Structure 1
Amino acid sequence: MPKSLEILDRLIAFETVSRRPNIDLIRYVKGVLTQAGVACRLVESADGANANLYARTGPDGPGGVMLSGHTDVVPTDGQDWTVAPFRMHERDGKLYGRGTADMKGFVACAIGAMIEAAGRPLARPLQLALSYDEEIGCVGVRSLLDMLSAAPERPDLCIVGEPTSLAVATGHKGKIAARAVCTGREVHSALAPQGVNAIHLAAEFVRALQALQAEFAETGAQDDAYDVPYSTLHVGTIAGGTALNIVPNRCELAFEIRHLPEDDADALLARVEAAAAAIAQAAPDGGGVGVETVNRYPGLATPSASEAVSFVKSLTGANATTKVAFGTEGGLIDARLGVPVVICGPGSMAQGHKPDEYVALSQIDACDRMLAALTARLAA
C-alpha cells in the first residue's frame, strides 16, 4: 500500500474517542517519525494518558509550514455501522472507518509527508502538530500552543487539515460552550404555586435565548460565505426534576454560541447573562439562573487575498475560497501564535460523525499530491 494508506490503516485501529487516551497512537506516530529521522516532542496531559505531538524536519530557524490535525474521534455508540468502525475497509473507491474523514485521513497524509520531507534537503522547515480532545472544544491543543508560543521560531503558515474536500477555507465561527443552572424551591406538587419551579425558569431562559437568536439573525453581523450567515444560539441538553409530585429545585441546561469573527463574543455572552439575571430578578424568593462558561475558542478570519491563502491555492490549483461551519484549532493558532491559518484537507464533513464514515481514495491521493507539492516548494 502507499505509505499514507498504510499509516491510515494503523491510525484507524486506535480507538481514540475523545476523553479516551490517545497516548498509544501518539507513541506509534513518534516511533514512525523518529525512525525516519524526524525530531519529535510530546506535550503530555497531567495524567499522562493523552499527549500532543510536535515534529519538525528541515533547517533550524523560523519560517516554513506547520501541518495541524487532531487525533481524537467522535463516539460510535448507538450508530448503525455496517463495517467494524475501528478497522479500515476499502470498498468502491472509499475507505471506511471512524476518523477516515474527520480527520485521520489528513493526519496519515501529513505523517507520510514528514517522512518524505526528512529525506530531502529542505530550505525551509516542515512541521507537524497533532493534538487531542479537539472534538470536545479544542482542549488538548492549548498546552501545545503554550509550548510553541514560548519558542522563538514561528512558521510562516499553518494548514489545518480538517475535511474540506481540499477546498481552501479561510474562516470558521468561534464557539462559547456554556451551562445555565436554574434553581428553585421544592414543595409537594399539590402546593405547586407555593414553590419555585426550576424547570419553569429554565423554560423562560430558553425562550429568552430564542428571542436573542432571532435578534442576532435580524440585526447581527452577516457573512454569506457561511451556510448560516449569522451568529447562532443553541440549547443542546436540559435536565431537571426528580419526581412528578415534587416541584423541582434544580434544572440545568447546556447551550452554545457560535459566533462570526466579526461579532464581539463577550458582548453576545453578556446579552445572555443579562437575560438570565432579568429572569432571576423577576423570580420569587428562592429562584435563580446562573450562567457559567465551560469552554470557548475564537473564530478564524484569514484574509482571502493574503499571501498564505495564495500559497495554499497554488498547491491545490484552487481558484476560490470558502468558509466552514465547524470549528477548528485554527482560531487558537492564529490568536496565540500570530500565524496565518488556512483550512484544507481531504474528505467531507458530510461524511464525518456518522455511521459508515468514509473518505474517498481519490481525496487521499489528491492530498498526497498537495503535500508533495508543498515539500517541493520548501525544498526549492
Structure 2
Amino acid sequence: MTFYLIPLFALLSPWYMPSPWLETDPLEQARAKIVEAEYFAYQTTSHWPNMAGIVETTIIQSAFFQNEENFLGYDFILASERYDVIYHEGVQKIAWHNWAHPETFQILEPSDFANQIAFEDAVNAGSWHKFSLKRLPFKDLGYSHDTVLENTTYRVYVMEHEPTELGYITREYVNLDPVTLLIDRYDRIVYDPQGRIDQHVRLLFADQQFSSEAQPFNYQPPAGYQTAYGQIEREIEPIRIGQMAPRFDAQDLEGNIINLAHYQGKRMMLFFSTLTCGYCKQSLDYMNEDGYEFRDDVVWLYLNPQDSKDMLLKAQERLEVPFPVVPVPKAVGEAFGVVSYPTFIEINGQGQVTQLQGGFSTEFLDNYRAE
C-alpha cells in the first residue's frame, strides 16, 4: 500500500525547552509506563518515503517481554508482512517472508559474530527495533509546544541532531497525549541546508497494551520454511580494480539502448543507487549544487537494480539526475559486486574497472568536477 506524502502537520519551532524530567512530567510518566511494564504491546503504522516522494506503508505488530537476564532487559517479537524479528533467551531469529531470503527461518547466536558486542549491535540495528517505543531517546527530548490533532491536544517533544558535513539537520518529534500518557506519533524529519524537508518518516502507534504481570512468550515459526543457522552468506563476488567490467544491455528512461560496448574508448562512471537510499540522495544533491560542473571526459550513468521502471519514472522529476537513468535487473548489480548503496564504479576506455567508491563522499565526487 502506498500513498503520497502530505505536508508537515504543523510548523514546528526548532527552539524547545528542556524537559524538567520530574516524576510529574508527562514524558517521564509515559517512559515509566513503557519501561516498567512486564508486558508491552502495540501496533505501528510506518510511513517511510522514498526518493520518488511515494510513501511505503508498513504495519508492525510489536510485543516486549521483561527479561532482566539479557543485555536489553527484555525479549521482543516484531512482526510484519516482509519479515518477523524475534529476540528470546539470548538468540535472535528472523522469519524472512518475502524479503531478502524468502521463506527462511534464520537463527543467530552470539557465536556467529566476532564478539558479544557485535551480536548486540546486530540486535539493536534493525529498523523496527531501533524505532520502537522502547528505544525512544527520552532523556534527549525537550518540550517544544502543544498541538491539536483530531480533537486531541498533544505535547510535542523534540530532539535535534548535529548538522551533517553538508548542513543537513535531523529532528525527531514525539507527540504525547498528557491525559492517557500514551505516545501516539513519532516523526523523524531531515531538513536540507535551505531548511526544506528532505525526508519525513512518520510512525503512528495504536492499540497499546500494558500489563504488570508477565505474559508467556509465544512465537510459532511459519510452517514450511527452511531453517538457516548463522549468517546467510551472499553469493556475490566483489568486483576488483583491474577486472573487466561485465557487459549488459538495458534501456534508459528515454528509451535509449545502453550497452557498455557503445562507450568503448570513453571513461565512464557507473553510479549504483536506489530510491530508499538517503546517501544516494545526498550524492545527487551535492552534484546538483550551484557551481558543480562535470568533467567532460567522463560519461555518467545512474543504474538502479532495486526499483522498477515505473517507480523510477514517477521519481524522475524529483530525483534530478543530471545524466541517464537506467533501470537494470538485480543480476547487473550482482555482476558488479554491488551489495550497498551508493556504489561508484569507474571504467576506463578499455573496459577495465579503475576506481571503486562505496558510500557518499564529497572528496571522491570532487575528483570529477570540471577544473
Please confirm whether the aligned pair reaches a TM-score higher than 0.5, indicating the same fold: no
TM-score, normalised via structure 1 length: 0.23
Give the structure with the higher percent helix. 1
When normalised by structure 2's length, the TM-score is: 0.24
Indicate the structure with greater strand content. Answer: 2
